[in-house]
Each structure stands twice: as structure tokens, then as C-alpha cells.
Amino acid sequence: MQKKPTQKLLETIFKRKSIRKFRSKVVPEEHIQRIVEAGQRAPSACNLQTYSIIWAKDEKVKEKILDVCGASGMKNVPVVFVICADFRRLRKTLDYLNADHCLNQKGGYAIKLMSIIDASLVAENMTVAAECLGYCSVFLGAALANKEVVNILKLPEGVLPLTLLCIGYPDEQPPTRPRLPTSTILHINGYRDPSKEEIKKFLDYMDGALEKEGYYQKYSNQKPSFRYSNHIQRKTARKPMQKLDDEIKPILEKQAFCLTS
């Protein structure tokens, strides 16, 4: 029995997983164009469309971007997009209209935050479109407010890199990765803190699923004893994260995205 289009789409979403090993097979430009167009169909706050997509089409530019984002081992990936929050184009349009607007000042926080949401929705639409066309993808957060990415792409004030979206043909077939139980993230009529029992159950579940794949050994050369609890502690450790905050803040200020005066 042939599946309905809605069933196919949901199946695509539920089977989607991040791929970090790609074949160097070229993705047709008409598919790339279609993926970008799908991104544009994402919801946009007040239809302000405060985002930009930069395709690192030149091989040298792509390699530089991957290098500064710590992904030099992924140079086989054929398509690399830099997804950006962008209120600059809106500001220029308002200037053209001689409008009295908030974007000429250090304010405009609501629009700047919405631009991040806009760009994130665009990125998600693009990755679903890529999956529907038979490709795989991965997001690389190391592009976030990355000074080198800003310099390589000559991003002006008002444009902030958020993530890389890498798309291509997979050269690995990993299982789908575990997620929090729906009962933990779905709150009914108000927020509810997880119990200690729920936290332990979740950590045990994540450890078991990721250990079965050998996830941390495969992608970050960790010892078999390395667990999800180690991972989240390492990713949020105070001292290195403070260092990262100190590096990011000047970029946020330079690109006019700093939300503190």
C-alpha cells in the first residue's frame, strides 16, 4: 500500500540523524536552489525575513570555513551553508523609507532575537527539504558568533553567523540518536521540574543508546567509559565556557547583536 505524503514526511523527520561522514559526490544546483527555497517558506516573525543564507560555494572558502569551525575532517561534504541572523537588510530598507526605526540604535532587542528564531526556522526547513530530496545533513554550532567566519565571509554589522548546515550524500549509516522522553519536555498547563528519578532514568537511557553505537569513541576519540553525563558537563564547564563567552561578546557587539549595554 502506497504511503500518504504526510506519512512519508513524518517518516523522514523521525528517521533523520546527523551525518558527519560524506561522499564527495556533487549535489545538483537545482536541488541546492530548491533547498534554499524551502528554507524561505519557513514562518517568519511579522514577515520581516531577518535572515540570510550564505553558500560557501568556492572550494577554498568552504575549506576555510570548515577549518575555523573545527571540521577539517569533513572536507568531502559538497554543500556548506552558513545560516545567519540578519537585520541589516531590514535596516537598509527602513532607511530607504526614511522610517523612524529602532535598528539605528543599540536597542531593537526583540527584532534581533526574532531574527535568530527566523534563521533557525529557515535552517530546519532546509534540512527537512534536503532529507526529502535524499540527502543527509549536520549542523555545526562552532560557527556561532565565530570571528573567523565573520572575517572570511566579510559579514557586516547586523549579520551574525549562527550555524553551518552541511548537506550531501552519506558515507555512514548511524542509528537515530536518542532524545528526551516526550513526557519530560511536554508540559501541560504549566512548567514542571523533572524529578531526580526522571533525571537518572534519562541519563541511563542516553548512556545505553550512545554506548551501543560507540558514539563518543567514533566522533570524539573518547574512552569507552565516557558517558553522556561527562559530555554535558564538558560542554557546559564554567571556565572554558567563560572563555568562549569572552571571545563571543566582542563579536556580538561588533555585529550589533549584544543584548546588554
Residue range 54-80, pLDDT digits in tens: 999 999 999 999 999 999 999 999 999
Helix axes 29-40, 109-132, angle to 10 degrees: 140
Q: Per-residue confidence at 1, pLDDT binned at 50, 70, 90?
A: low
Residues 73, 129, 120, 100, CA torsion sign: positive
Contact call for residues 22 and 173 (beta carbons, < 8 A): no
3-state secondary structure of 54: strand
Q: Per-residue confidence at 5, pLDDT binned at 50, 70, 90?
A: confident
- What residues contact residue 216 under an 8 Å CB cut-off, 6+ apart? 210, 222, 226, 231
State how far the Cα of 161 lies from the Cα of 116, in Å rounded to an integer: 10
Domain 17-174 has CATH 3.40.109.10: yes
Q: Which three cell numbers stand for residue 249?
A: 561578546
Residue-wise pLDDT for 15-54, tens only, equals: 999 999 999 999 999 999 999 999 999 999 999 999 999 9
pTM, rounded to two decimals = 0.93
Residue-wise pLDDT for 136-186, tens only, equals: 999 999 999 999 999 999 999 999 999 999 999 999 999 999 998 898 899
Residues 196, 197, 198, 204, CA torsion sign: positive
Q: Quick one: pLDDT at residue 126?
A: 98
Structural domain boundaries of the chain?
Answer: 17-174, 182-226
State how far the Cα of 261 lies from the Cα of 91, in Å rounded to an integer: 20
